[in-house]
Amino acid sequence: DIQMTQSPSSLSASVGDRVTITCRSSQSISNYLNWYQQKPGKAPKLLIYGASSLQSGVPSRFSGSGSGKEFTLTISNLQPEDFATYHCQQTYSTVLTFGGGTKVEI
């Protein structure tokens, strides 16, 4: 199975900050990488698909980049509602895998 490693596992930030989360895969996955946001007690929400495509309705302060084995999710101008856990997911192989998650805290 393809292993997905996110870093950092948690970070502290302030409103207005620019935050970058990294996701690395154990083998090349082209651009088959999605990002999700999850708040406590809620289901994940799709933010970015295909490494850099913004899901409909997601604010433009979220952006994704990367290809191959290294990807980033950037949140510019962090808002109070952005404090959550972020998960990456590879969909390159039939067996799908998620990263371990990154918790963004105040």
Partner 1 sequence: EVQLVQSGAEVKKPGATVKMSCKVSGYTFTDYYLQWVQQAPGKGLEWMGLVDPENGETVYAEKFQGRVSMTADKSTDTAYMELSSLRSEDTAVYFCATDLKGVTPRFDYWGQGALVTVSS
**Residues interacting with partner 1, by CB under 8 A?**
1, 32, 34, 36, 38, 42-46, 49-50, 53, 55, 87, 89, 91, 94-101
Query: Least distance in Å: CB of 20 to partner 1?
Result: 19
Query: Least distance in Å: CB of 79 to partner 1?
Result: 22
Closer by beta carbon to partner 1, 32 or else 62: 32
d(CA 35, CA 103): 13
Angle at 64 between CA 9 and CA 66, to 5 degrees: 90
Closer by beta carbon to partner 1, 20 or else 53: 53
d(CA 103, CA 83): 8
Closer by beta carbon to partner 1, 17 or else 98: 98
Q: Is 99 in contact with 6 (CB distance < 8 Å)?
A: yes
d(CA 42, CA 63): 22
